[in-house]
A and B are shown apart, each in its own frame.
Chain A
Amino acid sequence: MSLPATSSDGFWSDTGKTGIASWIFSTDHKRIGLLYLYSVLGFFLVGVLLGVLLRLELMAPGRTIMGPQTYNATFTVHGVVMIFLFIIPSIPASFGNLVMPIQIGARDVAFPRLNLFSWWLYVIGAVIVLTALFTGGGPPDTGWTFYVPFSAKTGTNVSLAVLGVFVLGFSSILTGINFVTTIHRLRAEGMTWGRLPLFVWSLYATAWVQILATPIIAITLVLVFVERVVGTGLFDPSRGGDPIMFQHLFWIYSHPAVYIMILPAMGVISEIIPVFSRKPIFGYKMIAFSSLAIAAAGSVVWGHHMYTSGMSDTAILVFSFLTFIVAIPSAIKVFNWVSTLYKGSISLEAPMLFALSFVLLFSIGGLSGLVLGAAATDIHVHDTHFVVGHFHYVMFGGTGFAFFGALHYWLPKFYGRRYAEKPALVAWALMFVGFNIMYFTMQVLGIRGMPRRYYDYLPEFARLNLVATIGSWILVLGLIILLVNLFRGLFRGEAVGANPWGGATLEWSIPTPPPTENFEEDPVVTHGPYDFKGAGKP
């Protein structure tokens, strides 16, 4: 089944079109995956820049580099860019497209043209969002959550921004439909559900959430748009509407959306850990099942964002209880990863370091999530920097670090060259240290009562804020080293063969870089994804 690695350029050369058209009109899942990858990376850098500006403003009390209105706009745009343009499409749309079809033994996704259309919708949505920053009343200042009544009243350009997010949601739905259909219909012979790589399982669960949750935010944003344009009054108390209904509708999507963000990352970790421990994954079935369980349970916990909204006490109790249930499948995964490491022959290379830091950072984020899930404690830390620290731990420490791990793990396969190991380790160490200095400090600040979304604070918070800001510099320094080393390596680094890490999933059985059609002949799968006996040694 495994084919010899050839020295051809694979999908890089073998195409009918030329120049830029061979990319932006390509229906090859690998090219679309790379298009997504560079788009989300670009927006990630924009978001990081804005985040660093936020931290600079908070470096000292009072006005440091910007005033209140600019600060409001900056954290809103930082949030919108990071959530809708970076993290939701990050792993599923880039690495999902790049490797999922190969991992199931397919030549492409089920609907290649729809796949290209999704990317175009993403670009169009992004352009609309960016246009909103420079037109109308200026960049939105509502926070990424667009809460009414403020979002219905503010003079900034919220209308265009929600329209852009609507289009981005449509793009996300189409990717979801495409992936579910692909995984059902295009698995190679012998690729049973029990042999699906766990990354594919996680994408499968994610895709369902994308399909089932995204329409709700679509209609919610439409309502905000209509409210602003014609004033239907559906959320306006002076005309009988109820702003809390907005919060319900918003979080019915946006809570499941955090599982769109984290599940694919968990999939990446489930691929990296067994390969770098040279041991089959512990508890394959439970990891696969817990992805679905997280997706299902995660759909009914949205109310935990609303404990202080004035919703009924019964509802608070029920949502609090349900929230604790989501912790179970998440913990199952963590325990399984740790058990996989046990007595493994662990090699601490860059992808593995990112994977291991994922496990730690995600656990810190998850445990602080329990503090927020319990209504009694949440009421004290709601809307403080504790929350900001919490979601950066899960989204950045979790998904972000998994994304960096995936960059190091899979990109050499597609470029045929790899990064240098030493600088990658330095970059990882700086990022890990900087990250914890910044966000752990923010959590402490939150517990002491520093609210989120303010450009100024009381003098007693000054010292810790300075520490957090210094952390952000260390983090960014690490990030720069990481990206320079990674991309220099991909273009000029040492060449790699078909299977540099000794993985057993199908993508390592084909030549590097993969040919346009992925497989010379339709593969027949005879062993599980973590059965390393037959796989080549690194």
Chain B
Amino acid sequence: MSHPEHKDYTGAKFGMWLFLFTELLLFGGLFILYATYLTRYPQQFAAGGKELNVVFGTANTVILLTSSLFAAMAVTSVQKGDRTTTLRLLGLTVLCAAIFMVNKYFEWSAKIHHGIYPGSPRLGSAPLGESVFFGLYYVTTGLHGLHVLVGAGLLSWIGMKVNHGKIHQGDFVTLENGALYWHLVDLVWIFIFPLYYLIL
């Protein structure tokens, strides 16, 4: 009595979408905090927002959007059976992720250099809401950065599977799900960027 290994394309995507919901809700908790504290401390949030560097933020937005495009193209090319292009596009996506993290590193170091970090003396003497703003800023962008790292790791692992021929024209749902995850990472940033860098 032997049964072929169970493969369910729709099921796999269904499961992935459910997982993405949970990720949205995870960040949702931070957005709730943002909303409540913004109504409580509008001025301090505005002052904090001014400290953030729009150039860094915009650059990172462009980089992430581009990387999402690469990820989507990688899905199309694997469907066409073009392994080399798929690998190249995945490589570009991961490269974008790396640039994003380098930017983030410089952005955070500049902040820390200016004495803006949780528990710093400067924030200690600033008006109450400002340290909440930066606390949220660090937690939100930090958690997002962690997701960028996880996503990049995931896409590299998928790249290896493509290279070994485990993911191919006939069975590419893993790559598709990886790309979905990457779009989520991108999407979350699309909300973080205006909330922290633009509207304040």
Contacts and interface: CB of A to CB of B under 8 A. Distances in A.
Interface residues of A, number: 40
A222 B146 CA distance: 13
Interface in A215-233: 215-216, 218-220, 222-223, 226, 230-233
A218 B36 contact: no
B18 A216 contact: no
B136 interface: yes
Contacts of A248: 32
B25 interface: yes
B30 A219 contact: yes
A230 B118 contact: yes
B33 interface: yes
B22 A219 contact: no
Contacts of A233: 118-119, 131-132, 135
A378 interface: no
A248 B30 CA distance: 12
B15 interface: yes
Contact of B25 (A216, A232, A240): A216
Interface of B: 1, 3, 6, 8, 10-11, 14-15, 18-19, 21-30, 32-33, 36-37, 40-41, 44, 118-119, 123-124, 127-132, 135-136, 138-139, 143
A173 B22 contact: yes
A185 B11 contact: yes
Contact of B15 (A107, A110, A212, A219): A110
A496 interface: no
B8 A219 contact: no
B26 A240 contact: no
Given A233-B119, A240-B41, A211 B131 contact: no
A393 to B, nearest CB: 31
30 contacts: A107-B3, A110-B15, A114-B15, A177-B18, A177-B22, A178-B15, A180-B18, A181-B15, A181-B18, A186-B8, A186-B11, A211-B18, A211-B21, A211-B22, A215-B24, A215-B25, A215-B28, A216-B28, A218-B26, A219-B26, A219-B27, A232-B139, A234-B139, A239-B131, A240-B44, A240-B129, A240-B131, A242-B40, A248-B32, A517-B1
Q: Would you list the 6 A-B pairs with minimal beta carbon distance, nearest first?
A: A240-B128, A232-B135, A219-B29, A215-B25, A215-B26, A185-B11
Interface in A167-188: 173, 176-178, 180-181, 184-186
Interface in A479-538: 517, 520
A185 B139 contact: no
B33 A234 contact: yes
Contacts of A219: 26-30, 143
B28 A185 contact: no
- SS of B interface (majority): helix
B25 A212 contact: yes
A107 B2 CA distance: 12
A103 B143 CA distance: 40
Contacts of B124: 239
B197 to A, nearest CB: 19
Given A107-B3, A184-B14, A240-B131, 15 more contacts: A107-B6, A108-B6, A110-B11, A181-B15, A216-B25, A218-B26, A219-B28, A222-B139, A230-B119, A239-B123, A239-B131, A239-B132, A240-B128, A240-B129, A242-B36
Given A222-B143, A233-B118, A177 B29 contact: no
Interface of A: 107-108, 110-111, 114, 173, 176-178, 180-181, 184-186, 211-212, 214-216, 218-220, 222-223, 226, 230-234, 239-242, 245, 248-249, 252, 517, 520
B8 A215 contact: no
Given A181-B11, A216-B28, A245 B33 contact: yes
A242 B3 CA distance: 57
A431 B81 CA distance: 64
A232 B1 contact: no
A216 B22 CA distance: 9
Given A234-B132, A240-B129, A249-B32, A215 B3 contact: no
A233 to B, nearest CB: 5
B149 to A, nearest CB: 16
Given A110-B15, A231-B118, A245-B36, A215 B139 contact: no
A172 to B, nearest CB: 10
B198 to A, nearest CB: 22
Contacts of A180: 18
A218 B30 CA distance: 11
B15 A232 contact: no
A60 to B, nearest CB: 44
B40 to A, nearest CB: 8
A185 B14 contact: yes
B195 to A, nearest CB: 16
A176 B139 CA distance: 27
Nearest to A234: B135
Contacts of A173: 19, 22
B6 A234 contact: no
A239 B132 CA distance: 7
Contacts of B3: 107, 517
A234 B44 CA distance: 14
B135 to A, nearest CB: 4
B23 A185 contact: no
Nearest to A108: B6
A185 B7 CA distance: 11
Contacts of A114: 15
A241 B22 contact: no
Contacts of B28: 215-216, 219
A153 to B, nearest CB: 14
Contacts of A223: 29, 139
